[in-house]
Structure 1
Amino acid sequence: MAHRIDEVAAVIDKDYAGRDPLLVGVLNGAVMTMADLCRAMKIHCHMDWMAVSSYGAGTRSSGVVRILKDLTTDIEDRDVLIVEDIIDTGLTLSYLVQNLRTRNPRSLEIMAMFRKPEAISAPVDVKYIGYDIPNEFVVGFGLDYAGRYRNLTDVATLAEHVYK
């Protein structure tokens, strides 16, 4: 994954050359991606965090999005790059993008480490993607099931017997 993050970081460096982007990490899952991405970037950037939820302790999105922690940074007239761990249905991210657009950023783009194209039900325009993966419940590299397995260094499919 480190190689792919380096590749994505190089493209972001080029796209944001001469600018000072604000990376908005989506807690808790994006911690690993955000840390590795900002260390791989050569340009200066700022960081802030949001926590949103639509999962609870399940393996499927509830469809109800809640902001648990909001930004501490004013994003008006800022170049904002949302950093996500995974795009599943896209419902949470779609809500988040709509919310942040009301705050008048200069630009608003998305980087996701993982995307499940087969699961997407809400359109989201993702500019930077680490990997497209199958529509399976995965854990590791920040991805969790009920708060567990985030610390795995590899990404693995969660065995059904764990959650059934």
Structure 2
Amino acid sequence: MKNILQKKFVLPLIVLVAVALVVFKVKSKPPVAHEELQYPVRAVEVMTVRKIPYRSHATGFGTVEPRVLIKAKSEVSGKIVYIHPRLRKGASLSKGTVVLRIEPTAFEFSLEQSKAGLSGNESSLLQLEAEEESTRALLNIVRKNLQVQQKEYQRIQEIW
């Protein structure tokens, strides 16, 4: 058996037979059947039209109601000192129209209170920032002191 395989022409012959078998198998397969898909054909009718003048007209009866109804509420409190004369249910006013004026006394008082509270909070913030800075400085001093004490401890241990 070794004698046959050692001959120079046997190996190429085996490779050639294997390639021939593969080619034969590929060629002998039946071709893949493809199915053609067709979209349904729609019948279309074309009509030529000409332009004619036409005026639309709609007549209706009943009650007209708005699609969106806005219910406005005041965000500030106070006495109303002016009401626009055309302000009534269903009225249409142009953009930017002053509808109501509220007496500013209560609002201004509330604004001043808020400003005073803000300045108090700002001063508290400054005080806390100064306290933070001094606490950080103290922390640095304590850390340095700890390092010195650790070195002293090591020195004493080396002596004993």
Q: TM-score, normalised by structure 1?
A: 0.15
Larger Rg, first or second structure (1 or 2): 2
The structure showing larger relative contact order (alpha-carbon pairs under 8 Å, at least 6 residues apart) is 1
More strand by share: 1
TM-score if structure 2 supplies the norm length?
Answer: 0.15
Which is richer in helix?
A: 2
